[in-house]
Amino acid sequence: MTISKKIACMMERSSWIRKMFEEGGRLKAEFGAENIFDFTLGNPVSEPPEEVLSELLRLVTEETTGSHRYMPNSGFMNVREAVAQRLDNKNGLGFTGNNIVMTCGAGGALNVIIKSLVDPGEEVVIVAPYFAEYLFYVDNHQASVRIAESDDMFQLDMDEIDKAVGPKTSMVLLNSPNNPAGAIYPMRALKELGALLDAKSEAFARPIYLVMDEPYKKLVYDGYTVPDVFDCYSRTVVATSHSKDLNLPGERIGYIAVSPLNEEPARMIDAMTLSNRILGFVNAPALFQRLAGSMGGATPDMSLYTRNRAILTEGLQNTGYELTEPGGGFYLFPKSPGKDEFPFVSALKERKILTVPGSGFGRPGHFRISFCVDPDTCRGALAGFDATFRSFQ
């Protein structure tokens, strides 16, 4: 055995997203990229906004002594202050730079949070469907996952969460807008969850944290809003990144925000700063921290995603697919014909359409379509989606 048994096991059940993405690379090499309809990875096709690129060029060329040296592991204080000010402008809770840790994307942020707040043997509650990597992140820190199912519209089911939260629960980890379903949890539901977690924290004589993963928070369609989770529960921590809202997924820049209403926010930040270092992230990249400080308030252009959502939603519904319109993000999560989605996903692949099985997100009988692609890809795939669906009737 040349590698650890644990990693060998993880490799066998590793993310279906990456597996299908890699299959897409093989098919594109064989048949030509223009002949493959790849909806696997949430990898925005659009370039960063022009003002972001201009600001990046300015930051690269400005002559500032020491801008590439080591910094505090939690990040440049002026950047953290800029992030905190944007948060405080929304909720007035008293955020300062001392409530922020700059991180290597949301994935880095979540690992830092779990490392800092969850002891080995404790539990993290997640809601299905969920981002597939959550299972690995929790396992990284010798904790275990308990899964609560959402309802048929992918909204929070309080009875399910109530049953999942127990005496070993350290946190509830949510993602809104949700990947893969695009569901947005409304203020009413989050406040109800906050009340539930307050009661559970008192019953079990331990704080239970609400951790919200928010990389899609700014990617919202007309008619929908994403509530400020900090207004819903005092023991809240947010993880986010600029991978999606600034089209910078390859730069791995994000942050953690700890609510000032937590019992010991300064101690939590100290723990996360240490975890950032000892997990090997050390600190977020200096150049992109500075970019996040100056451009983190930029608003994404939703026109491409709005167009693609309309093309696919109308086309799939006309064929007969059952799906819930996403309120945010750039994913559709339709039901597959039949409870086992794997034969259907395989049949789509035969028509050069690459999607991801819903089982990888904890919801069998569905499949995910990532539509952060060129509109021609969406239009070109409709005939194959139609023919494959009809072949299963």
Residues 32 and 70 in one domain: no
| Domain presence at residue 55 | no
The dihedral over CA atoms of 33, 35, 40, 42, expressed in degrees to the nearest 10, equals 60
Question: Which pair of structure tokens corresponds to residue 61?
Answer: 């060329």
State the pTM of this model: 0.95
Q: What is the CATH number of the domain that holds 340?
A: 3.90.1150.10
The mean pLDDT of 263-278, rounded to a whole number, is: 97
Residues 134 and 267 in one domain: yes
Q: 37 is in which domain, residue-wise? A: 5-49+301-391
Which contacts (CB < 8 Å, 24+ apart) does range 5-8 have? Answer: none
Q: DSSP character for 182? A: -
pLDDT tier, 152 (very low <50, low <70, confident <90, very high otherwise): very high
pLDDT in tens, 237-253: 999 999 999 999 999 99
| Domain presence at residue 95 | yes
What is the three-class DSSP state of 256?
Answer: strand
C-alpha to C-alpha distance for 379 and 390, rounded to whole angstroms: 18
pLDDT at position 2: 85
| Domain presence at residue 224 | yes
pLDDT in tens, 43-63: 999 999 999 999 999 999 988
Question: Which pair of structure tokens corresponds to residue 327?
Answer: 């309120």
CB 73 within 8 Å of CB 281? no
Residues 18 and 132 in one domain: no
Domain count, the chain: 2
The mean pLDDT of 339-351, rounded to a whole number, is: 95
- Top pLDDT among 64 and 209 is at 209
Indicate if the pLDDT at residue 17 is higher than 70: no
Residues 22 and 88 in one domain: no
Residues 291 and 313 in one domain: no
Q: Which residue has the tokens 């569901």?
A: 183
Residues 288 and 305 in one domain: no
Measured in degrees and rounded to the nearest 5, phi and psi for residue 144 equal -130, 160
Q: What are the residue ranges of helices labelled H in 118-251?
A: 134-140, 158-164, 187-204
Q: What is the CATH number of the domain that holds 198?
A: 3.40.640.10
Residues 250 and 375 in one domain: no
Residues 94 and 224 in one domain: yes
The dihedral over CA atoms of 176, 179, 181, 185, expressed in degrees to the nearest 10, equals -10
pLDDT in tens, 54-108: 999 999 998 888 888 899 999 999 999 999 999 999 999 999 999 999 999 999 9
pLDDT at position 15: 61
Residues 231 and 99 in one domain: yes
What is the three-class DSSP state of 370?
Answer: strand
pLDDT tier, 10 (very low <50, low <70, confident <90, very high otherwise): confident
pLDDT at position 66: 85
| Domain presence at residue 205 | yes
| Domain presence at residue 57 | no
Residues 99 and 237 in one domain: yes
Strand order of the sheet with strand 367-370?
Answer: 331-332, 367-370, 356-357
Of the ranges 27-31, 58-62, 139-143, which one carries the lowest mean pLDDT score? 27-31
Domain boundary pick from 264, 295, 326: 295
Task: Judge residue 18's burial from the number of C-beta atoms within 10 Å of its C-beta, 0-12 exposed, 13-18 middle, 19 or more buried.
Answer: middle
Measured in degrees and rounded to the nearest 5, phi and psi for residue 386 equal -65, -50
C-alpha to C-alpha distance for 220 and 326, rounded to whole angstroms: 9
